[in-house]
Structure 1
């Protein structure tokens, strides 16, 4: 009977995501020479590969940091416990979540799995989404990088912090008022239902989130690389004197390029032919929603959530950044 049970168990065992991940890595390593020759012989593919590698390499360390924090959240924090920690009033809970985003030195790739782990019903869900939008935009690393990229423009740092925080608070408030639990169609493992140690819960949750989030990061980075080579360089030359057109283009460019929030300030600073307001819009929209974030939100929350949350986030971030930019940095 024992032999039959073991045999049955072995025949029903399925290939897991980790085995698939290792197999893909081995296949890419074996095909490295062929791929390198293809890239060298085609300038457009070389450009796309450079963009893809830049986005992925920039984002991966912060994704790893984020999933480690999300694993700790799975082992130590539940949505019910978070609900007890948050202020009872929804507005105060959302504000607390937004301000606490300054404490996590990571980028948007890491904030998505953390927010998914913290997500719960009602006020907890709104607070988690507020944190997801605030953390990659107002943490000290991002603000310092913005100050370094824009020397002599301290108001750009202030404007970015204020506009990003306002965007997060507005989206948290909108979810608290209009959000529906049925839009969340992707589930994460209920780690607290297992009998394993906290270390086991931590490692399993971190592994799950890393494999899922990194796969969608690859999809988003590949889409951004493909779109990057389709934007001609002469576009910026026609935007210098057209503020509203420049805002629209820079908002769309932030979505397409999908840069890490720790690096986007240097890209915006290099576009010195544009006024400060369009460049501020670029810095606020990018960490809130871009191609890789949309792909990761689909993977973590589900398509029904992403197709509603992403367009509204884009609109709110663009409008808020434009208003704050005109008030703080002016039309220059």
Structure 2
């Protein structure tokens, strides 16, 4: 660029010097004419002077035309170089903007990954402490994973190469960045899908348990009514099976009413470990001492035993799922996880390079 400007200056100086030379030669030719007058030169008597002057002027003008051509060539080269430099500047700004955009995306991705991890930790703790309860895990939906992978790979490679070429293993960092983004993008989708399956299955099982509980209560009421019809109101409570049911039913509805008053959902674990378990223990004592009756006591015992088993299965599956979530959280979603730390380091490097 500097050399072109230098050449252009030289051409300009030569041009003005050449004009001075033409002026000098013209004056000399005029002075060679005696008693010269403006616009009145004698070409017949001074033909040798005019011929020499014309020859000199022709050579000088030819030289000037060469200078003009050279000047135009340098002018065009300078314009081409300016356009190239401008295009290079635009290209650098575009690559810089891509890195800045990547940094913005990474910021939200890192924050949301950590927040998702906190939600996972809260969920598996709740699931482990109350596995029969309908615990919830909330996912933060972040489209920036897709936005990062949607960025043109070649342009991003050139941008990272431009700013990170002096860094050791910059190509490895580039590959690691996309590997980590791809991993978390797919991992979160898989987590949401498995969570949906778990919740849907748990809801289905809890509905089945609720239906069985309703059947159990209905069977209890039917047995008491059958005893009342068969033995009368004065004698039916002398029998152990209706007495067991009459002792159980008020406690059950008292607990249900207490939960409703407090705006809570009945805890299957509490029902299983307390009311249902006590009912079965007492039922087994009655069976040992008196045996089953012919009015439905066996069916009632089988129903409540099945309910406890189903509650246990719900809790078992919930605990297994909670353990899986805990492993995933500790391996990939803690604040100090290696993958998240790598994303933090890459973002820090980008911010340092393009600030």
Which TM-score band (shorter chain)? under 0.3
Q: Which has the higher contact order (CA 8 A, sep 6+)?
A: 2
Task: Give the structure-2-normalised TM-score.
Answer: 0.18
Return the index of the structure with the highest Cα Rg.
Answer: 2
